[in-house]
Chains A and B, each alone.
Chain A
């Protein structure tokens, strides 16, 4: 595999948005996006953490409208593609057109791992806008390799330029990553990517396993900033891939310098595996739920672990942050296992 080109997709300004409660400012975006662009990442993703249009009571309001943030990034990004995330059901084509006008030239259209067909409309619209499109399957631990390939083939048929598989709960162990990525790499014509969460301290190992299994795009963030225990730490992965002899085109020292120079002033909490994050990975719960669960636990005077376990039992998926309130209310009323 030595010499194989690996594309780094930095999602500090998108998945990392969860970790700072969607408070990124234009100045922060300019600093981060500009510096990342100089370090050789292939794609820089930016938007509300839940994708375009995510600013809401349910997912948290953006402090600065994501369109202004996209404009700020667009002004400094010269080499990388500038991507946004779009979850059909939350974001719309109208919003995508606005993001395109603000300077985004790529979009990752994300659905739950079994629901790829809801992305057909948005992928087709993005292609019509001349954008580079990623079909993005979330919570991939909730389905099996063969079934995931079927969904990925749908996204490929709609026009995706590559397919990204996300371990959104940080639940998978390397063997689970290998089985899924090998199935996709063997069955798709387009390249395959992987998005890890570090809830079980597996993000770098799983990303490396994905690459060894055939993935050529991999998501990461500065300092690992992201939902739950965060994502794959880009400066660490850069070092690991360099030692393994992969061609990433990354400036390893440059990434370390951003992580140490810019990120500490932006981060609101240490990006560590605390009890809540560990429980996300253990129970297979969507990582973005974490801070909302902490809020609800405080409000309803509950143990966050109980809320997380119940969310896992109920098989809640990405976008169902509203059910954290429901679960908390039911638990506070003494309804142990509501429904």
Chain B
């Protein structure tokens, strides 16, 4: 099968895990792993037969056959790299908080983003919870939605730790923009328990329409869980929709696939899996459009 070449900027834990996911993909293949210095991640990619560079986005931009680029660096780096990638005609999938482009939660709004040269993957907690907010709001409306994401301390990197507000604020905004709630609120807790806990997420929605049959909410949420499980098999309902007047509570657990990062890092797995799922859909479109001849 024809595959679209993808580049990854940022050979850290996230970038390396993305690379493993690209290896597994039937639509994508690795075009380049780029960093800005020699690093363990660059050496690991090279040892696995991937073309590497320490010239960052510039090097990726020069690779004509790379169509899709994952940015797994920092918000500041992506602000700088985004115009470069755009000029080079690359589709950018942004895993940083830069949010140059619109928020993307693949199972909710990817099909509404066609033509966007740059999409942002929100946050790990956003990828885990916004589909549920949406699943409830599409049948019962949502005047308010609140999420609590608990991740193990070990899977919270220095970027997250240095900027907790970025997580809460970005996730809150995307609960509104993508989840369909009038008002969103996000909370994050880092739990240091050993052995590390699986990521858990609580979603609580205040429904607008109290008259909706509970089964409709449950069906909608269950269907959404099924869709997410297509790209995150370890996504499961711990507590199915509990309906109490206009309050709907759902609790989810996310176990990672253990590609490069351990299974307890479900938070990192879900944002990476969502990014790759988005890239695969885009790649399928490119392959269909191009008929494969240019590849």
Chain A positions near chain B (C-beta within 8 angstroms): 53, 56-58, 88-90, 92-94, 112, 114-115, 117-118, 120-122, 314-320, 322-323, 325-326, 329-330, 339
Contacts and interface: CB of A to CB of B under 8 A. Distances in A.
Contacts of B249: 57, 325
The 9 A-B pairs of least Cβ separation, nearest first, read: A315-B193, A322-B202, A88-B164, A319-B189, A57-B204, A89-B188, A322-B148, A114-B192, A92-B165
Interface string B173-189: 00000000000010111
Contacts of A325: 202, 239, 242, 249, 251
Contacts of B161: 115, 117-118, 120
B190 interface: yes
Contacts of A114: 153, 192
A121 B190 contact: no
A90 B202 CA distance: 14
B136 to A, nearest CB: 13
B154 to A, nearest CB: 11
Contact of A326 (B146, B158, B206, B238): B238
Contacts of A315: 191, 193, 197
26 contacts: A56-B185, A57-B249, A89-B164, A89-B187, A89-B188, A90-B168, A92-B168, A114-B153, A115-B190, A117-B161, A121-B162, A121-B164, A122-B164, A315-B191, A317-B189, A317-B191, A320-B148, A320-B189, A322-B148, A323-B202, A325-B239, A325-B242, A325-B249, A326-B200, A329-B239, A329-B242
Interface in B176-224: 185, 187-193, 197-198, 200, 202, 204, 206
Contacts of B158: 117
Say what secondary structure dominates the interface of chain B: strand
Given A57-B206, A322-B150, 17 more contacts: A56-B185, A90-B168, A92-B165, A92-B168, A92-B169, A115-B192, A118-B190, A120-B161, A122-B164, A122-B165, A315-B197, A316-B191, A317-B189, A317-B192, A318-B189, A320-B150, A325-B251
Interface in B227-246: 238-239, 242
Nearest to A322: B202
Contacts of A115: 153, 161, 190, 192
A93 B165 contact: yes
B22 to A, nearest CB: 31
A121 B168 CA distance: 13
Contacts of A323: 150, 200, 202
B247 interface: yes
A318 B189 CA distance: 8
B251 A89 contact: no
A315 B189 CA distance: 13
B163 interface: yes
Nearest to B239: A329
B251 A322 contact: yes
A333 to B, nearest CB: 9
Interface string B245-264: 00101010000000000000
Nearest to A339: B198
Given A56-B185, A112-B192, A326 B202 contact: yes
Contacts of B206: 57
Nearest to B244: A299
Contacts of A121: 162-165
Nearest to A117: B161
From B168, B206, B242, residue with most partner A Cβ within 10 Å? B168
A92 B190 CA distance: 16
From B187, B191, B247, residue with most partner A Cβ within 10 Å? B187
Contacts of A330: 238
A58 B190 contact: no
Interface in B139-172: 146, 148, 150, 153, 158, 161-165, 167-169
Contacts of A117: 158, 161-162
Contacts of A53: 185
Contacts of A329: 238-239, 242, 251
A329 B238 CA distance: 9
Nearest to B144: A57
A326 B252 CA distance: 10
A317 B192 CA distance: 9
B187 A90 contact: yes
Nearest to B203: A322
Nearest to B190: A115
A274 to B, nearest CB: 26
A114 B206 CA distance: 34
Nearest to B163: A121
Contact of B189 (A57, A89, A92, A122): A89
Contacts of B189: 89, 317-320
Contacts of A90: 168, 187
B148 A314 contact: no
B146 A58 contact: yes
A93 B187 CA distance: 14
A92 to B, nearest CB: 5
A339 B162 CA distance: 30
A326 B239 contact: yes
Contacts of B162: 117, 120-121
